[in-house]
Amino acid sequence: MDTILNFILPDPATNGTMLFGAIFFTFMFMFFLVMGISGVAQRRGDIRNRILLDRTVKSDGSAPEQEWETMSNSLRFQAVAEGSVLLARVERGAKQGEKESEKSKLQRELVRAGYFGASAPTRFTMVRIGLTIALPVVASALFAIFGIEPQPSTKSAVLACLAGVGFLLPGRWLVRRQKKLEQECRNGFPDFMDLMVVCTEAGLSPRAAIDRIARDIAQNYPYLGANLYLVSLELRAGATVAEAIGNLARRTNLEEVHALGGLLQQTEQLGTSLGEALRVYSEEMRDKRVSRAEEKAHALPVKLVIPLAIYVFPVMLVVIGLPLFLRIKHALFQ
């Protein structure tokens, strides 16, 4: 064994770097292998579920095949095909208790970050891998350019830390973007409720109102408008308003949207006035916005204590105490 290692790594000074490279490429190979196997398993599971669903529908005879379903040049077929992939992905990620693969979890997180494309998980993975490889390579190049020759163990540790930073950095950026878009949805949700009240009192149904509002609210709140467009697609695909609002709540992670889904479901079951219920709920959303602003205003003095104690109080102490110190010095030591 020692002879083999000496043949592979003849120079002891490069043992650390070569060992790090071997470990890194082994890790990347296993990562791609696991991702490929999970992707194949996920596709086979989707195909199996679709086959079972088709068998069930055809055995019941409740949904016969339509002519437009087999015509690729049909406008209705193209409209359904445009949103079918995204709707299937959202539906797969929205079911509670469903065992998700890593790709499905990543797709759901990317949707929450505003990336709805089918190739978003692949691009995100490539960016993560690229940063994981690029940062150690750039560090090695900088060591060679500036003539820095650290110890092999130190160099391996630095390169490993940079690889870890490159692997974790996209995830942290994704979390920050999710929080930013969540705040955007929280700010735009009261406006959405006001528009829902106006459209409902004008005689539009909730389905038509959401479809109309999605185009208008996207000018000021693009992410919220995109999610409302997904809601309209789900409604066109046959989902109920409560289910579509529930999926919207899971994508935006807002308690207000969860409450709206329950409100719409209760209104539909009890037969109460939808316009009046939405008006009351819209006023509550406005009150919550004011309450959050007041909460931030009241928390501001407490947050200012640390900056004042670090930057302001020492300066004031020097300005006030320095003349007194000089007078005492001149009086006692002259």
DSSP 3-state of 241: helix
CB 276 within 8 A of CB 135: no
With a cut of 80, say whether residue 186 has pLDDT above it: yes
DSSP-based helix, strand, coil % in the chain, nearest 5: 85, 0, 15
Residue recorded with tokens 């979390």: 175
Cβ count near 245 (within 10 Å): 24
Q: How confident is the model at residue 73 (pLDDT cuts 50, 70, 90)?
A: low
Instruction: Give residue 241's pLDDT.
Output: 82
Where do the domains of the chain lie?
Answer: 180-296
Dihedral Cα 156, 162, 166, 168, nearest 10 deg:
100
How far is residue 55's CA from residue 57's CA, in Å, rounded to a whole number?
6
Instruction: Give residue 103's pLDDT.
Output: 66
Residue recorded with tokens 């679709």: 50
How far is residue 249's CA from residue 228's CA, in Å, rounded to a whole number?
11
Q: Residue 114 corresponds to which tokens in the numbers above? A: 């505003």
CB 240 within 8 A of CB 128: no
Prediction pTM value: 0.60
Residue scoring higher pLDDT (44 or 218): 218
Instruction: Give residue 174's pLDDT.
Output: 92
Query: What does the pLDDT average to over 124-151?
Result: 88
